[in-house]
Structure formats: structure tokens, C-alpha cells
């Protein structure tokens, strides 16, 4: 590792909800640090993914999806968190989904007008494009919308073309010593990751509306010998949501707990005892103070 030739910098992943930014981050880092589901707005916080190689360290910033409609305090928070991530980065990667350009993609593009750093466009989910001949005209259309330094079609799911994206990002990083230790993969705590893993399982199992009205708070996180004891609160926004989250005879909550515990044991490399409770905090997603008390502080 030569400090004279070493490159290090921040690369923000931006795009509308559900284009695959978190899946892309996990693939680039080589392990799961950002939760994923098919539900839009699964990512609610800025998450730093750190990848260190012999000659460079990339600090990927995963962001919530930018979206034009902002009916709730939660929506406004998500947009602020994503927009703030565009400041003081060295490269921006705009992620779009296949050849599907939507209104929110235009809205994201408007947010990029004030960005002074290089912007790379990524066309994700190319493995799902049936008509491959549609890709070239879409790339040409994309090039006409913004002065991207590169446009790279790829698949975060399969890993196709990821080395090309990584090389393109590194080429625009400044010469700098690394900011983090070589073995560090995120700036987030185990406590934060535990809460996110529980929320991921809930998002994947619940219907359309309820996921947006729930959040997870870690009440207790203690090492007990070789066992990690975690107590988590699942907050829902309506009393009627509580029995749905618990499920018939507690079955859904048991499944969430089992799957989250298994993921935690794999992530943390040790045995985990996980307890879950469901509580009601009416209208928390519409309340700025409630958001802050539950950890939605923009960090």
C-alpha cells in the first residue's frame, strides 16, 4: 500500500426508491450491511459501506430513495437524508431501474443539477430486461439528460459489470490516505444493524401499508458470556396494526424473530438471544419529535 498512489473518497449512491441501491452496496462491499426488500423506502438512514483494496478505499454512502411526494414527516426526513448525502462527496452514482424512467427519476435528476463532482449513471437490473436491444437507445436517452462521466449497465443481483463500476468510481477519487482501518466495512454499530435486520424481516412479511408505519428500537443490547442478548421494541403507528404484526397466535412475530436472530448470528459471528415486543406510538411517522426520539436524526 503506497500512500503516494493511494486513493480514498466518498461515493454517494442515489436514485428513486426501489431501484436496488442497497443491493448494489451489499454486492460492492461483499457482505450485507444495508437491508433490502421489495418495498419502496426500505432504506431510512444514510449507511456507510467501506471497501478497502491495496490501492484504494471507497466509502460508499447508501441513501434513502428520493421521491417527489412528501406527505409525512418521515418522507421529508428521507429526502433530507438523501439530499444531504450529495454534499462533500467525490463521486455520485445515479442508479436507475432497467429501461424504466419515471417521474421520480426526473425529480432525482433535478437534485443533481447543483452537484459539482463527477456523476456516473448505473442502469441496474439488466438481467431482467427481456428486450436487450432497448438498452442502447435508453443509454443514449440517458446521456442526453445529463453530462454523466460514464453510463454503466449492470446487475447488482448477479454482479455483472460491477468491476467496471468500481474501476470507474476509483478513477475519480482523490489521492488520499485511507480514512478507516482495512478490516472495517461500515461506520454503523451492531446495535443499529440489529434493529435494521428486524425491520427488514417485517418489511418482507407484511402487506403494503403497515411497513411504513413501523420502526424498530433496540431497548437492550448486552453481552452475556458468549451469548448476545438483544431486546427490541417494534413501534407501530396504529393500534390496529399491533395484532397484524404479532400474527395469528404470535406466528408472524415468531418467524420475524427467528429469521432476524439467524441473520444476526451470521453477521455478528456469535450466538444471539432475541426478544421482540410490539408497542403502539400513534402517528410517530408524522411527528418530527417522535422521529428524532426514535433515531431519525439525519445521521
**Is residue 237 assigned to a domain?**
yes
**pLDDT tens track for 266-286:** 989 999 999 999 999 887 666
Residues 155 and 215 in one domain: no
- What digits encode the pLDDT tens for the residues 6-32? 999 999 999 888 888 888 998 999 888
- H-state helical runs in 5-52: 21-29
Query: Residue 282 sits in a domain of what CATH number?
Result: 3.30.300.20
DSSP states of 72-114: SHHHHHHHHHHHHTTTT-SEEEEEEETTB--HHHHHHHHHTTT
* pLDDT at site 93: 96
The answer to whether residues 53 and 162 belong to one domain is yes
Q: Mind listing the pLDDT tens digit for each residue in 185-202?
A: 998 889 989 998 998 899
Confidence bin at 43 (pLDDT 50/70/90): low
Phi, psi angles (nearest 5°) of residue 231: -115, 125
Angstrom distances, CA of residue 13 to CA of 25, 83, 217, 253: 8, 11, 26, 32
CATH number at residue 135: 3.40.50.300
| Cβ atoms of 124 and 96 closer than 8 Å | yes
- Please state the rounded mean pLDDT for residues 64-92: 60
Pairing mode, strands 150-153 and 119-124: parallel
In terms of domains, do 24 and 137 share one? yes
The parent domain of residue 119 ranges over 7-171
Amino acid at each position: 500500500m503506497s500512500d503516494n498512489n493511494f486513493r480514498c473518497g466518498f461515493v454517494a449512491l442515489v436514485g428513486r426508491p426501489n431501484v436496488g441501491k442497497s443491493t448494489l452496496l451489499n454486492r460492492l462491499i461483499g457482505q450485507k450491511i444495508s437491508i433490502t426488500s421489495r418495498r419502496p423506502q426500505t432504506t431510512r438512514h444514510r449507511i456507510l459501506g467501506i471497501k478497502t483494496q491495496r490501492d484504494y478505499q471507497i466509502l460508499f454512502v447508501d441513501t434513502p430513495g428520493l421521491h417527489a411526494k412528501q406527505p409525512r414527516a418521515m418522507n421529508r426526513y428521507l429526502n433530507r437524508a438523501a439530499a444531504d448525502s450529495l454534499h462533500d462527496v467525490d463521486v455520485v452514482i445515479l442508479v436507475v431501474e432497467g429501461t424504466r424512467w419515471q417521474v421520480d427519476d426526473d425529480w432525482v435528476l433535478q437534485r443533481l443539477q447543483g452537484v459539482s463532482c463527477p456523476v456516473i449513471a448505473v442502469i441496474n437490473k439488466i438481467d431482467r430486461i427481456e428486450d436487450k436491444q432497448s438498452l442502447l437507445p435508453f443509454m443514449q436517452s440517458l446521456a442526453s439528460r445529463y453530462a454523466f462521466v460514464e453510463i454503466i449497465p449492470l446487475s447488482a443481483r448477479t454482479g455483472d459489470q460491477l468491476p467496471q463500476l468500481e474501476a470507474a468510481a476509483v478513477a475519480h477519487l482523490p489521492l488520499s490516505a485511507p480514512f478507516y482501518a482495512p478490516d472495517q466495512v461500515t461506520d454503523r454499530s451492531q446495535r443499529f444493524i440489529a434493529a435494521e435486520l428486524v425491520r427488514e424481516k417485517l418489511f418482507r412479511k407484511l402487506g403494503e401499508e403497515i411497513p411504513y408505519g413501523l420502526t424498530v428500537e433496540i431497548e437492550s443490547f448486552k453481552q452475556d458470556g458468549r451469548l448476545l442478548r438483544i431486546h427490541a421494541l417494534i413501534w407501530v403507528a396504529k393500534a390496529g396494526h399491533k395484532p397484524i404484526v404479532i400474527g395469528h397466535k404470535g406466528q408472524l412475530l415468531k418467524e420475524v424473530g427467528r429469521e432476524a436472530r439467524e441473520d444476526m448470528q451470521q453477521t455478528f459471528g456469535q450466538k444471539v438471544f432475541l426478544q421482540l415486543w410490539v408497542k403502539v406510538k400513534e402517528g410517530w411517522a408524522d411527528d418530527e419529535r417522535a422521529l428524532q426520539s426514535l433515531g431519525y436524526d439525519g445521521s
